[in-house]
Structure 1
Amino acid sequence: MPVLERLKQFIIEKNLLTPGDRVLLAVSGGKDSMLMAKFFHDLNVDAIVAHCNFQLRGEESDKDEKLVVEYCEELGFPVLLRKFDTEQFAAKNKISIQMAARQLRYEWFESARVTHNCSVIAIAQHANDHLETVLLNLTRSTGIQGLLGIQPKRGFIIRPLLFLSALEIAQLVDKLKVPYRDDQSNFSTKYARNKIRLEIIPKFKEIQPDFETIILQNIKHFEESQQFIQRQVESIRQSIFQSQDENIIILKDLIRPYLQESYLLFEIFKIYHFQRNVIEDLISVFDQGMGQVFQSQTHELLLSQNDLIIRERAEDRIIDEKIEKLDSKIKLQDKLFSMEEGHEIEFSDDKSKVQVDQDLLKFPLTIRTWNQGDSFKPLGMEGSKKLSDYFIQQKINRFEKNTVPILVNADGIIIWVLGMRLDNRFKVTENTKKVLTLVYK
């Protein structure tokens, strides 16, 4: 099959492009990216070219830039150029030159993609890059995911040449007379990826001449295995995860059968970015660690008596509102706190409204969230009670209790846990002269 037909088939199979997409082509001047530019020209794709000059190889970097501009303009593509002081950026951010170049180019590519209304960014990595990535990931803690190598599409990045080997690309460049320049740093074994390509893979080929073909076949098997695992994991998620408001609720009895399989639990919770060691910590305190919170970069998980609750991470909503006078109105998230003077005594079960003896209030009042050690004398109960114990009694979990507003007198005494319970000391009695109605709706 002609190579352009193979390319079109790969693009369709991997859903890399849709009709009308504009593509940002990342072209360095090397064989792979210059061939990619030629292919996209021959396919008559709407595209623009982006070239980074990292200024790491002096005159050689400038020659790369010149070749890219001349060839891509000959193909009819507009060319965007960007020079970077890569060494200065690396030193300032205390990262390697390779990491600096990667960060600089991908940030610029994304900015250019948006500015020039491109749907995707095309990177010219090929099948050998795919293989090298898998071998490199074997030296890291990446699990099965790392054995899948480079994905044809991730976010706005596509890799349309993954179906071609390095040998095929070299033959096609020669056949089609595509100009290119070799970056001599690609032949230095001080970089891990180059060492794999130049030293390690040749050793494997001494043992198995078809090593590259066999590894690519194995990568396909890894992909199939991963897809099977993810189907099973998703089926479990569907059966045990319940949505409730903005949270995910998991009954402990439903998760208990999987406690002996830490890897499976890790996969189940991985969509919320919990690390393997965090899941192992959760398992170790599953029946003793009530109230403990476990965190990922994006979410937090609360271990309660009967269930697990997952929510997006958010800074604690710290409430600290001062009330200087009686006619104040305070907006608290989606509710409003207000005071109404001169009402007759009412008897109601409505927890959003309470009546207090106005003469007992000392301004300024404060509405805040609970503090460690807070206590009050709940109306209808004997003696004092720690607020934390009261929340437990009312089945208010740790996530919820950090959002409950509390009205506090100027002398520090709690007047009302808004929407829940009045303090006994502020109730209306037969000696009350002024009734004040507090409303939280």
Structure 2
Amino acid sequence: MLEQKFLNYIKTQKLFYADNKILLTVSGGVDSMVMLHLFRRTNFEVGIAHCNFNLRGDESDRDANFVRLIARENAIPYFEESFDTGKFASDRKCSIQEAARELRYSWFEEIKIGGNYQYYATGHNFDDQLETFFINLFRGTGVRGLRGILPKNGNCIRPLLFATRDEIVEYAKNHNIVFREDSSNKSDKYLRNRIRHQLLPALQSVKSDFKTGFEKTFTHLLETEKVIEGDIRKLREKLFSNNEDQIRIPIDKLTKLQFIEFYLHELLKPFNFNEDVTGKIPAALNKIPGKTFFSKTHQLIIDRDFLIISPVDINKPDKYFVDAGAIKIGIPVELNFERLSVTGKIIIDPDKNVAQFDFDKLKFPLKLRRWEEGDSFHPFGM
């Protein structure tokens, strides 16, 4: 039964062609081991990729050994990588989950290209979809966040997204599929696990077939998202004008839009501006020109008549240093320094291009760096 649903899902979602090579991302857990079994039973050509995130000590190593042995016994091409996930998260100032996600998907893409695979497959199931829905709902989100995980997203496919966790576990039991238990899945430390262990069983007790209703909802949300994307694409074509490496958006036309925050968030998404940033732009439109907003890849300047978007040069150094005796620097911006001796009352210069600091409280060398997500400051007089 599950095998036929698996094949039907691949066909209806147009996940891949029969002659494609698929890289299976196998953790050793029940989802990925059932996925491997189904791919083998249906005679698709596959390889196996396993990530060791080194987050669970010996347990992580035992998972890697288990998957490596499975690949060897079945003569399946095998790829393995070990990551210092904790250090990566610390360096990037992100959560462990975000770090692991970035590391694995970047590596999967490398293996896909190097091994001549057309797609890489993950073992996400329908319960994962539900959990993602509630995580995004609790954080606050829009249609894209509520529709959750896509069956196919670029080179990544999720061929088990149709199956519930119970169906997968039952299939593993009926076919004597051996798998590893991840001890971290039992802990309620993470929001996803609390949703899995507490919320979903409660919903099941209220309405036993609640997952069927959610399945319809996800379909409608995905359709809604596609309609919105089409409308936003047309609006970009209407509003955006290109001038060399700049994109200009006329402010007068932008302010006529009824839900300007929503439209700004959608219009600026290709330039990686997040909702916190786009939400601040409307209030700045009627103020003095020159206000600048940044994403990781672009800057947006509010000019008199236009929003001007241009790329940030990611090849420039991330940090610059200024010594105590510096008089002038030319990069990353032109800055002049002057040391003043002050007696009596301190008068703050009102010029917006001048910043004054107590020299005795400065620690040299001063470090100049780019804006980072979460940065904010409040100058005197503002």
Give the TM-score normalised by the residue count of structure 1: 0.63
Post-superposition CA distance 1:219-261 (Å, at most 9, x none): 2222222222222222222222223333323333322311653
Distance 2:309 2:169 in 1: 51
**1:29 partnered with 2:28:** yes
What is the deviation of 1:196? 0.9
CA contact (8 A) 1:258 1:265 kept: no
What is the deviation of 1:168? 1.5
Runs of 5+ consecutive residues of structure 2 not aligned to the other structure: 317-330, 337-382
Secondary structure in structure 2 of the residue aligned to 1:147: helix
Distance 2:213 2:149 in 1: 17
Post-superposition CA distance 1:23-47 (Å, at most 9, x none): 2211122211111111222232222
CA contact (8 A) 2:265 2:274 kept: yes
What is the deviation of 1:89? 6.3
CA contact (8 A) 1:248 1:309 kept: yes
**2:43 is aligned with what amino acid?**
N
CA contact (8 A) 1:127 1:166 kept: yes
Secondary structure in structure 2 of the residue aligned to 1:162: coil
Match of 1:285 in 2: 284
From the superposition, tell whether residues 80 and 287 of structure 1 become closer, same or farther in structure 2 (CA, over 3 Å). Answer: closer
From the superposition, tell whether residues 60 and 287 of structure 1 become closer, same or farther in structure 2 (CA, over 3 Å). Answer: closer
Runs of 5+ consecutive residues of structure 1 not aligned to the other structure: 318-367, 374-441
After TM superposition, the structure 1 = structure 2 runs for residues 120-131 of structure 1, keeping only pairs within 5 Å, are: 120-131=119-130
What is the deviation of 1:204? 2.0
Post-superposition CA distance 1:47-79 (Å, at most 9, x none): 211223445556654553444334334443122
What is the deviation of 1:202? 1.3
**1:257 is aligned with what amino acid?**
K
**Identical aligned residues as a percent:** 34
What is the deviation of 1:97? 5.4
From the superposition, tell whether residues 121 and 288 of structure 1 become closer, same or farther in structure 2 (CA, over 3 Å). Answer: same
Paired residues, what number?
Answer: 323
Rg (Cα) greater in structure: 1
Distance 1:283 1:118 in 2: 45
Distance 1:51 1:252 in 2: 50
Secondary structure in structure 1 of the residue aligned to 2:242: strand
**1:214 partnered with 2:185:** no
Match of 1:46 in 2: 45
Distance 1:87 1:246 in 2: 38
Match of 2:243 in 1: 244
Post-superposition CA distance 1:384-419 (Å, at most 9, x none): xxxxxxxxxxxxxxxxxxxxxxxxxxxxxxxxxxxx
Distance 1:312 1:55 in 2: 36
Post-superposition CA distance 1:261-303 (Å, at most 9, x none): 3222322222222233433433223244334333322222333
Distance 1:226 1:145 in 2: 6
Greater mean deviation of Cα atoms: 131-140 or 282-291: 282-291
**2:172 is aligned with what amino acid?**
V
Match of 2:293 in 1: 294
Match of 1:161 in 2: 160
Secondary structure in structure 1 of the residue aligned to 2:127: helix
Greater mean deviation of Cα atoms: 230-239 or 276-285: 276-285
Distance 2:48 2:315 in 1: 46
Distance 1:70 1:316 in 2: 42
Distance 2:334 2:63 in 1: 63
Post-superposition CA distance 1:325-364 (Å, at most 9, x none): xxxxxxxxxxxxxxxxxxxxxxxxxxxxxxxxxxxxxxxx
Distance 1:170 1:208 in 2: 21
Distance 2:305 2:83 in 1: 55
Distance 2:67 2:187 in 1: 23
Distance 2:243 2:99 in 1: 43
**2:166 is aligned with what amino acid?**
L
Secondary structure in structure 2 of the residue aligned to 1:11: helix
Post-superposition CA distance 1:366-387 (Å, at most 9, x none): xx999699xxxxxxxxxxxxxx
Post-superposition CA distance 1:295-330 (Å, at most 9, x none): 32222233333333322223899xxxxxxxxxxxxx
Greater mean deviation of Cα atoms: 68-77 or 234-243: 68-77
Match of 1:235 in 2: 234
CA contact (8 A) 1:125 1:161 kept: yes
After TM superposition, the structure 1 = structure 2 runs for residues 376-395 of structure 1, keeping only pairs within 5 Å, are: none
Point out the structure with the larger strand share: 1
Distance 2:37 2:258 in 1: 54
**2:182 is aligned with what amino acid?**
D
Post-superposition CA distance 1:77-108 (Å, at most 9, x none): 12233445656766787766555544544444
Match of 2:71 in 1: 72
Q: RMSD of the alignment, in Å?
A: 3.4
What is the deviation of 1:197? 0.6
Secondary structure in structure 2 of the residue aligned to 1:139: helix
